[in-house]
Amino acid sequence: DAGVIQSPRHEVTEMGQEVTLRCKPISGHDYLFWYRQTMMRGLELLIYFNNNVPIDDSGMPEDRFSAKMPNASFSTLKIQPSEPRDSAVYFCASVLRRTEKLFFGSGTQLSVL
């Protein structure tokens, strides 16, 4: 299996622009998580899905952030409009419930200028 695949690896954009981050989980995994990592706050859980259904989005910082999972093999995290304080590494991770072992994608380094 190719593992969790995220794109793009790096994104540089200007304040006010829309940003879309993409994730393909490992085939067969039934949970998908979106995390944001900064030096100050570490890994923060933004939202997670179980069988494509959003379960907990209490970590989404503002209405500017939205996430979707239209099917079992694809999820997006969208920021509109983006702000400089959104600059961070965004990780997607997936897990098969019975194993409980979380696998991470390689992350998207987002820089908002």
Partner 1 sequence: GQNIDQPTEMTATEGAIVQINCTYQTSGFNGLFWYQQHAGEAPTFLSYNVLDGLEEKGRFSSFLSRSKGYSYLLLKELQMKDSASYLCAAVAFSGTYKYIFGTGTRLKVLA
Interaction site with partner 1 (CB under 8 A):
31, 33, 35, 41-43, 45, 48, 50, 55-56, 91, 93, 95, 97, 100-107
- The CB-of-77 to partner 1 minimum distance in angstroms stands at 16
- The CB-of-91 to partner 1 minimum distance in angstroms stands at 6
- The CB-of-110 to partner 1 minimum distance in angstroms stands at 14
Q: Distance (Å, rounded) from C-alpha 85 to C-alpha 109? A: 13
Cβ distance to partner 1 smaller for residue 62 or 98: 98
Taking the CA atoms of 3, 106, 16 and 54 in sequence, report the sign of the dihedral they define: positive
| Of 56, 33, 59, residue with least CA distance to 46 | 59
